[in-house]
Amino acid sequence: MDRDVANSLNFLLDKLTGLLGRSVPEDHVAGHLIAAFLYVGLLLHLVAVSALVFIWMERKIAGRIQDRLGPTRVGGKFGWLQTLADGLKLLTKEDLTPTGADLFLFRIAPYVGFCASLGAFIAIPFAGQDFPFVAQHLNVGVFFVLAVMGIEVFSVILAGYASASKWSLFGAMREAAQVVSYEVPLGLCVVVPVMLAGSMDLVHLGDKQQGWFTNWYLLHDPFTFVIFWVYFTCATASVNRAPFDLAEAESELVAGFHTEYSGLRWSFFFMAEYGSMLAVSLLGAILFLGGWHGPVPVASLLGLAWENGPVWGYLGNLLGMVNLLAKAVLLVTVMIWVRWTLPRLRIDQVLTTCLKYCTPIAAAMFLGAATWHMAMPDRVFAGLLQAPEANRLLAEPSATPRLQKGGNL
Amino acid sequence: MNLHSPATYLSLLTFLPAAAAVVVCFLPKDQDEFVKKWTLGATVVAFLLSLGMLVGWPGIAFQIGEPGMQHVFSVDWIPSFQVHYMMGIDGISLPLVVLTTLISMLAMGASWPITKHVKAYCMLFLLLETGMIGVFLALDFFLFYVFWEVMLLPMYFLIGVWGGPRREYAAIKFFLFTLFGSVLMLIALLMLYYSSDLRPLDAGLLAEVGISQTDIEAIQAADTPQHTFNLLALQELGQTTDQFKNRLAGKTYEWWAFLLLFVGFVIKVPSVPLHTWLPDAHVEAPTPISMILAGILLKMGGYGLLRIAYPICPEAAYDLAMFVCTLGVVSMVYGAFAALAQTDFKRLVAYSSISHMGYVVLGLGVWSATAGTDYNPDYWKMGMNGALFQMIAHGISSAGMFFMVGLLYDRVHHRDLNQFGGIFGKMPLSSGLAIGIFFAGLGLPGLCGFIGEFFVVLATWKFSIPLAVVSAAVVILTAGYILWTLQRVYLGADYTGPHAEALTPITKRELSIAAPLLALALLFGVYPRALLDTMEPSVSQTVERLAEWKERDDQAKETRQDSGKTTRQARRLTNHHQQQLTTPSP
Amino acid sequence: MNFLLANLLSEPVGVAHYMVVGAVLFTCGIVCMATKRNALGVLMGVELVLNGANINLIAMGSPYLQGENATLGLDGQLMALFVIVLAAAEAAVLLAITLNFYNSAGSVDIDQADQLRG
Amino acid sequence: MHWPSFFFLLFGGFACLFAVAVVLASNIVRMAFYLVLSLAATSGLFFLAGADFVGAMQLMIYVGGTMVLLVFGVMLTSQSPFVSMRTSSGQMLTALVLGGTLLFVLSFTAFHVPAWQPTHRPAVDPNTPLLTATPIGMALEGYRVDQLDQPDPRIRQGMSGYLFPFIIISVHLLVVLVGAAYLARAKRRST
Amino acid sequence: MDLQTWLPLLLGLAWLLPLASFAIVSIGGSLPQIQGHHASYRSQKIAGVVASAACGASFLLSLLAMAIWLTNHPLGAEHPGGHPGTAHAPPHYSGDFYSLASFGDLHLAIGYYIDTLTVTMFCMVTLIATCVHVYSWGYMHEELADVVDNEVATRDGKALHRPGRYHRFFQYLSLFTFSMLGVVIAGNLAMVFVFWELVGICSYFLIGFYIERPSATNAANKAFIVNRVGDFGMLIGLMTLWSSLGTLHFDQIFPQLAEPASAGGLSYPLLVVAGIGLFCGCIGKSAQFPLHTWLPDAMEGPTPVSALVHSATMVAAGVYLVGRCYPIFVPEVLLVIAVVGAITLAMAATIAITAVDIKRVLAYSTISQLGYMMLSLGLGGWVAGLFHLITHAFFKSLLFLCSGSVIHAVHTNDLREMGGLRKKMPWTAYTMLVGCLAIIGAGVPAWGIGFSGFFSKDAILEQAWSFAGANPAPVYGLLLWVPVAGAMLTALYMFRLWYLTFAGEPRNADRYAHAHESPLSMIAPLVLLATLAVSIGWVWPFSELSVTSLLEQARPAGTQETVQGEWLSSLTIPDEHLSHAPEIQVPAGWTTFSAAMGGLLLATMTYLWKWLRAEEIRQSFRPIHSFLWNQWWFDELYDWTLVKPTLWLSRFFASIDHWLIDPLVHGITHVSRLVARLLDSLLDRRAIDGSLHTLADQTWNTGLSLRQLQSGSLRQYVLFLVAGTLGLFAVASLYWKFAVAG
């Protein structure tokens, strides 16, 4: 698809330069470059703006939960420009580096985290169907997203180590232990929808749940229902959100791994954190909540489908994107809600939760879901309904790609 | 007295020093300085006289490019034995004569530090010069022998009286060795004399070898063998007749005569293993005598070989060519090695002379004109010219070397190489000259030593590859001992031996002796034609004649082997021979 | 000797080029193993070596780089997968050994682990 | 401009660069960091060679898992955060020389096998995406969907599958994990 | 214009001008000594100017000759090498100045043989000589007045005071320039030999310029004598040619060589002997293995001398002669040349790594680079080898002059006492950096941009590559990989030198404090040479003019074909033009590049970043280090195998009389008693008893020594693994080559 985008861009360029008497071939570099920058720009904005919004949301929700108002002044009524103002303040803040720090690692750590967080978005689709909204359509998308997000922990460890501060180091160690542990149940949870869909392609995964909410994997069977919550728990833990935010436990470790950071670098950690939140939420939404297919298939009901022409299809995709983002924001909101509701766990409790509860539960659910799926391959909504025709079509063996023969899906 | 007649001129040249010596007898006893000056004057005149031939004194002008004997004259001396007072010059003898007078002059200049019995010294010195010049000019074997002996005695006394601490030993050693050589030569002389018979030679040829018309008639009329001491005639007989082919103990007379002559001359050269007199003589002799000894006396051996042994006894020379060359190479190697081990400066130079004279013997012997090379004499010419050139060059360089040694010895009275060092700082100019002269000895291109060595070595390959390789290797040893010596004597920080205060800079007298030697070394090194033009025709003629003899000889042997059958080879040879004959002969 | 290295940017690369990268990684790994005294450094060396090998496997299996029937096919990737998994296992064991060694020797300097020397 | 070559140079260059950096670095954490970068670049090479799944695995297991384990080890084992153990330069030089020779031999060999040289007509056009995840999954279960057109029936029917190795590896992994956990369990030092 | 008249005239004049200057200076310098005093300050100054002016005028004349040549022989117009099979000689003019001697058909003369190579060499030699002359104004400045030589103590223990010898220095330089030009212009091999010796003696004088220093005089002697060893071989070569062909004139030799032996040519064995013989001379002069030992010692001479004589010109004369006599060499001889070159370059490079004397490092680097040239010529790379000669002349003289500038500033040669001088003497430092980059062949293979050394070294490596391709036997492959390894070592030792001198912190504060930048007369030649070191390999803009195209024009007949050995029929010397093919050029270029970068990296790691510590490396490789430190023990080896035996032999010869007189019978009894005793101890005690003991002991010791291998060090085991792998690879590939592939 990106090739199509690039070709279209080249077509445009060709028209533009045609005015100057030049021509641009269809497969020119320029189109690819522009497309790439376009994607990255869009994703960057998504992450940055969502971070802005989420921080504001967090403060407002926290305020409400704690019977406060939260920010009210900046930017008018709801203080909705508060985060921007904070950002400006951070930009102008002095950039401190502690004595004895490993400067190179210290400086690079926040960017590693942010890059990992942003990198995950490359493979996350925002709408599917014939022309999915995705920067890079990978057939191992789920895997890729998880893998890239796994790198994020690196920034925390590097930051903790390079700060030459024991608080930071403790925070980093905790983070390492926690994230590595939680990757196990998280992976198990993710495998279930993959198994159900028979693909690791996120676009495919999302499109397998098209139609009504009954087709969501959340409601596929009891096991998937349980496993979604396990997933959500683990996802919260893996992005270091409270109650699993041991790495920056203020009460014990000052500010954990980012104790020594200030200014722009510090804000990058936060961008990364909120970016990751959004990423895991998006992933959860795609895997379990039907992705861009709503509880009610508004788009198809309105006829916004590719069969009816590209414009309608595109509009339908836009609608799907809004749908997906809404679900993701909902999940983020839940995370914020949880944070301000539950107290922070101790590190041993965190690990206990992971290894003694989440992992066995996820494993059991995986077994259950597999059995269920084997018993009722074409049933959805706890086996009550027949899977829609379209979904079954997607699972046809004839659609299995012919490896290495240049076949395309 | 007609100085334009060869007889007068050459006799004057020869006997002027002797005459001066007679005058010295009558000079006052306490006028040492005057005696020296007189002697020097005599040597200068002799030198000028010898130059006179070169610069074209009317009647006696030397024709450059003319290969044959010039200005030959012959006077009856002892008629009963056909001994003639016969002299002449050619390209071989002239350079040696000039060298003799030059070195004598310079050696006399170097004799100033002599203070003991100056009169006697000067007399003997002049007598010596007469003997040397005579040897080079004599064309009668007997006369040659007489001059040879005349030269011997003064030398004996000059070493034995004016020499160093072991002078008697050295003088007697020198005398015995040389006398032994003379005796051998005498035997050969008699052998040849009594085998010779002039009758087979036709009148023209007899006239050509300097026999007077009356004698020719007498010879042709005689019915008994007509013996002769005439060197030119003996050469002719040796090359064209079978007169010396009588057998003695399985070998021909010629063979024995050559051997005797060779040993006699080679003692003078000297070659290993008959060399041991030389280091001792040199070490003990005073500086000027060393100069003469090395500069001229050693050349007589080579001259004798070239003038007498080879042309008269070609067959034996051919048979023994390998022996001769091997001896030359052995001398070169032996001398060089021995020089390397010396700690006495003068002894080192003496051994270097042995090594350098080895080139002469080698160069003479490289008989490459054989059937295998189509009797092409070119390479042998090169070798022999190289040998003669080497004689002259060595005359210049070794005289210079001994002079430089003497110059130091006069100041510090020792010659121990290990006690020298740093002379350059004290005597820069003399050190510079010394280094130049030693480099001439080393065979550095651009200086005279190189040319002779180079010619000889290049010519050797054609004769024998192993000998060529060994002789080429000697350049390494030569460089080794000369440079090492220079380093030990002239270079270095400081002179540590005795009499350091006596190391005064070179005087003008010394400079005027050393500088001409270096200049000549440079001249002959840069422009060897200056010498070669004079000597090359004569030497080449000698070689060509020998090559022709060889060709004739082979042809004769072949015809003996299969008479009646003319092979293609023989026909070609005949043609070649005819071509040779048609070339105008002198 | 068929060298076609002419211009790397305008010509396609071949398996050989991947192999050179693999070789560099491999060599770095070897050098790492041979020079690091820290046991963890050695471990990293091992990882590099395995990765170098993996690159070769992947490259030989890649249909982008070679003509029809010349590639290792999917087997390359499968073997690479096994290597990765085994590397993870090996890393776990090595870390455990290192910890154990640290507990007994108080250091992770493998030069001190020479109790079995001859 | 040939893009695959460009990206190859980019990733390959990074992989080599950081691999060298691992060797050159003396600080263990930095080494680990460079190693991660090198491995990440390697995974880029895997993607480039059409091995998406392995590339993702590489990122996941090595970069995510192994590295965290490593850093974990660093934290636990070094007495102070900045400990570095110097090797004597002599040994270093020996290693470098031997390594250099090895590198030379390997590269030399790589360029001397005709089959490994660049080709303008690859089996699959580099612009065509390959879908490998499913076939790999199938192969691990013993089915070679990529070998369906093999003439040899034994191969076609799964003799080239990897089910058995997969099982062995799985068991091995389990054993290793148990073993590692046992080995690494906390012990009080006797003194 | 009549080239036959003008070229000999111009070049002859250019050749004789330095001789005139020598005569003027030497006689003028000696005149006051007759009066017993020394040359005055002013007259010495004038001597310097006269010598330099003569040299400069020579350069201008050479340039003029070059211009005339180029107008008459436009480059590219005639490419004798362009058409394989046509064996006509390149354009040349030959004749005699005067005859030395002639015997029948044999002629020896002082003559000339002028072709493009001659003219190019003239320009190069005179230019460098002029630079060195000018440089010496500053460098030898101290010699103008009385000198205190601190390195020499007189008898009373004080430092030596002596009058200055400024004019002597210039006198020798002039003589040298004359002699060197004589070698170049020579029209026959005899004349080459003459000037060959003369440059040798100039080198002797210049090495021993500080005649008071024993080390200097020893070095001078060594230089000359070792060269004589080579000349011995050369003489043999001359004899072979002379005896077989009857001439040594180049223009007569070359056509005759093409003829079969029956028609006046040489038989094959003689050709081999002649070739090897001539090459022996070149071995000596160009300091190739095994006669290289003199060159490092020759560094005792003043540095300008090292720059001119012992790097740029004289030592390159050997290479020049090989190039000049190229048609004489048959493939087997070329192989010998190549092998000697390869051994030399590797050996010298290894020694240079450990040397601490700045000039010795450069000396060994010179030897190594000369090895490259020889290798190239031996492998058929005629243009490549001579091209490297030209480029090397510029950058190596630059390097030496820079080192001279450093020595001038810090008054020591010892690298260990330098460091950090970059700040004090920037001009020297950066011109030297240029030289270093040039010698390691810095450049970008893909773009074809680089310093001069880049082009020439690449050309050599390409030829080596081509050769290795043409001769697949693995042994021949060494001739490719040795120079590649050499390229790495070159970068290593050159940058070691640079870093130790200019980078880092000063290691001797005192010397550092007194260091200063050199005067203009020294800097100006440096800058000029640096410019040339960068650019001499380039093509002149908007024309075909480049050193390579000049050399291409001079390419001798017969070198443009691939030739097979007659004895070694498997030996192929490939046509040089084949090496320009991209499939050779590109990999060869990159291989060289990476080798050089590897060496550079290693040097940087060790001496700049201090990541590797030199001291520790020394400790761990003590045997290797001491092996290299002692220069492979060549001096000791020669001392024991050649010098000492020669002296023993000489003593034996000298005492042969006494030896003969020794009572023989006494000797015999002695000998028989000795034999009896020997038999007793040898047979009974040693052989029978001893063998049993030895067996037991050896078993025990073997066990013990094998135990050492089991060091318990994991890292060592890894190294063993790698070494084992490499060994296996070598064995396997050899097995493949010999047993399987046949």
Give the domain ranges of chain E.
3-605, 663-710, 715-742
Cα–Cα dist B114/B124, whole Å: 13
pLDDT tier at E655 (50, 70, 90 boundaries)?
confident
Q: D and E: touch, per 3+ CB pairs < 8 A?
A: yes
Cβ–Cβ of A150/D64 closer than 8 Å? yes
Cβ–Cβ of A105/D67 closer than 8 Å? no
Q: What is the mean pLDDT of chain A?
A: 82
CA–CA min distance D84, chain E (Å): 13
Q: What is the mean pLDDT of chain C?
A: 81
Span between the terminal Cα atoms of chain A, in Å: 12
Confidence check: pLDDT of E19 > 90 = yes
**Residue B391: what pLDDT?**
92
Cα–Cα dist D14/D34, whole Å: 10
Summarize the confidence of residues E252-264 as an average pLDDT.
72
Give the domain ranges of chain D.
1-79, 131-191
- Most confident residue range from A263-277, E272-286, E627-641: E272-286
CATH of segment(s) C15-110? 1.10.287.3510
**Residue B582: what pLDDT?**
47
Nearest residue in D to C78, CA atom: D136
Residue B261 near residue B138, CB atoms below 8 Å: no
Complete DSSP assignment for B328-343: HHHHHHHHHHHHHH--
**Residue B106: what pLDDT?**
93
Residue D98 near residue D52, CB atoms below 8 Å: no
Summarize the confidence of residues A252-268 as an average pLDDT.
79
| Domain D1-79 bears CATH identifier 1.10.760.10 | no
Summarize the confidence of residues A382-386 as an average pLDDT.
79
CA–CA min distance E147, chain B (Å): 12
pLDDT tens digits, B507-530: 889 999 999 999 999 999 999 988
Confidence check: pLDDT of D154 > 80 = no
pLDDT tens digits, D56-79: 888 877 766 666 666 666 665 555
Summarize the confidence of residues E32-45 as an average pLDDT.
81
**Residue E577: what pLDDT?**
82
**DSSP strand E in B230-334: where?**
247-248, 251-252
Nearest residue in C to A404, CA atom: C63
CB of A405 within 8 Å of any CB in chain C? no
Cβ–Cβ of C85/D76 closer than 8 Å? no
**Residue B583: what pLDDT?**
47
Q: Is residue D174 within a helix (H) or strand (E), and if so which, with residue range?
A: helix D163-183
Q: Tokens 């992770």: give the residue.
A: C108
Chain C with chain D: Cβ pairs closer than 8 A: 303
Cβ–Cβ of E650/B338 closer than 8 Å? yes
**Residue A79: what pLDDT?**
80
With pLDDT > 70 as the criterion, what percentage of chain E qualifies? 94
Summarize the confidence of residues E175-198 as an average pLDDT.
91
Summarize the confidence of residues B414-425 as an average pLDDT.
86
Cα dihedral sign, E722-E728-E731-E737:
negative
Query: What are chain A's partners, defined as 3 or more CB pairs within 8 angstroms?
Result: C, D
Q: D and A: touch, per 3+ CB pairs < 8 A?
A: yes
Cβ–Cβ of A147/D135 closer than 8 Å? no
Confidence check: pLDDT of A405 > 60 = no
Q: Which of B299, B297, B342, B291 is nearest to B477 (CA)?
A: B342
pLDDT tens digits, C59-101: 888 888 887 766 777 888 888 989 988 888 888 888 888 878 8
Confidence check: pLDDT of A347 > 90 = no
Confidence check: pLDDT of E558 > 70 = no
Interface of C with E (CB under 8 A): 1-7, 30, 33-37, 42, 110-111, 113-118
pLDDT tier at D156 (50, 70, 90 boundaries)?
low
CA–CA min distance B492, chain E (Å): 4
Residue B372 near residue B79, CB atoms below 8 Å: no
Residues in chain D closer than 8 A to A116 (CB atoms): none
How many Cβ atoms from other residues are within 10 Å of residue E394's Cβ?
28
Task: Calculate helix-pair angle for B93-109, B529-561, nearest 10 degrees.
Answer: 140
Q: Is residue E573 within a helix (H) or strand (E), and if so which, with residue range?
A: strand E572-573
Mutate which of E210, E224, E231, E243 to test chain B, going by most B C-beta atoms within 10 A?
A: E243
Mutate which of C2, C5, C108, C109 to test chain E, going by most E C-beta atoms within 10 A?
A: C5
Please give the structure tokens belonging to residue E326. 């190229």
Cβ–Cβ of E722/C115 closer than 8 Å? no
Residue A50 near residue A278, CB atoms below 8 Å: yes
Residues in chain D closer than 8 A to E616 (CB atoms): 88-90
CA quadruple E162, E164, E170, E171: dihedral, nearest 10:
-50
Cβ–Cβ of D60/A146 closer than 8 Å? yes
pLDDT tens digits, A132-155: 888 888 888 888 888 888 888 888
Q: What is the mean pLDDT of chain E?
A: 85
Please give the structure tokens belonging to residue E241. 């040619």
Residues in chain A closer than 8 A to D7 (CB atoms): none
Confidence check: pLDDT of B570 > 60 = no
With pLDDT > 90 as the criterion, what percentage of chain D qualifies? 7
Q: Tokens 């904005």: give the residue.
A: A45
**Residue C2: what pLDDT?**
35
Q: Which of E231, E243, E328, E331 is nearest to E564 (CA)?
A: E331
Please give the structure tokens belonging to residue B180. 């032994």
pLDDT tier at D189 (50, 70, 90 boundaries)?
low
pLDDT tens digits, B450-490: 998 999 988 888 888 899 999 988 888 898 899 999 988 88
Q: Which of E304, E308, E279, E309 is nearest to E294 (CA)?
A: E309
ipTM: 0.71
Confidence check: pLDDT of B291 > 70 = yes
pLDDT tier at E670 (50, 70, 90 boundaries)?
low
pLDDT tens digits, E571-619: 888 888 888 887 788 888 888 888 899 899 889 988 888 878 888 888 8
Confidence check: pLDDT of E472 > 90 = no
CA angle E18, E20, E26 (to 5 degrees): 100
DSSP state of E737: I
Interface of B with E in 522-551 (CB under 8 A): 527-529, 532, 536, 540
**Residue B146: what pLDDT?**
92
Confidence check: pLDDT of E80 > 50 = no
* Phi, psi dihedral angles at E102 (to 5 degrees): -145, 135
The least confident of B184-188, B449-453, E543-547 is E543-547
With pLDDT > 90 as the criterion, what percentage of chain B qualifies? 27
Q: Which of B81, B174, B98, B108 is nearest to B136 (CA)?
A: B98
Residue E465 near residue E480, CB atoms below 8 Å: yes
CA–CA min distance B445, chain E (Å): 5
Q: Is residue E77 within a helix (H) or strand (E), and if so which, with residue range?
A: none
Chain A with chain D: Cβ pairs closer than 8 A: 113
Query: What are chain D's partners, defined as 3 or more CB pairs within 8 angstroms?
Result: A, C, E
CA–CA min distance D93, chain E (Å): 7
Higher-confidence position of E157 and E494: E494
CB of D111 within 8 Å of any CB in chain E? yes
- Most confident residue range from A273-287, E532-546, E667-681: A273-287
Would you call D116 helix, strand, or coil by DSSP?
Answer: helix
Exposure string over B442-455, b if 16+ CB within 10 A, otherwise e? bbbbbbbbbbbbbb
The size of chain D, in residues, is 191
Cβ–Cβ of B432/E651 closer than 8 Å? no
CA–CA min distance E592, chain B (Å): 40
Query: What are chain E's partners, defined as 3 or more CB pairs within 8 angstroms?
Result: B, C, D
Interface of D with E in 14-73 (CB under 8 A): 24, 26
Q: Tokens 């260091």: give the residue.
A: E515
Cβ–Cβ of A146/D65 closer than 8 Å? no
Cα–Cα dist B155/B167, whole Å: 12
Q: What is the mean pLDDT of chain B?
A: 86
Q: B and A: touch, per 3+ CB pairs < 8 A?
A: no
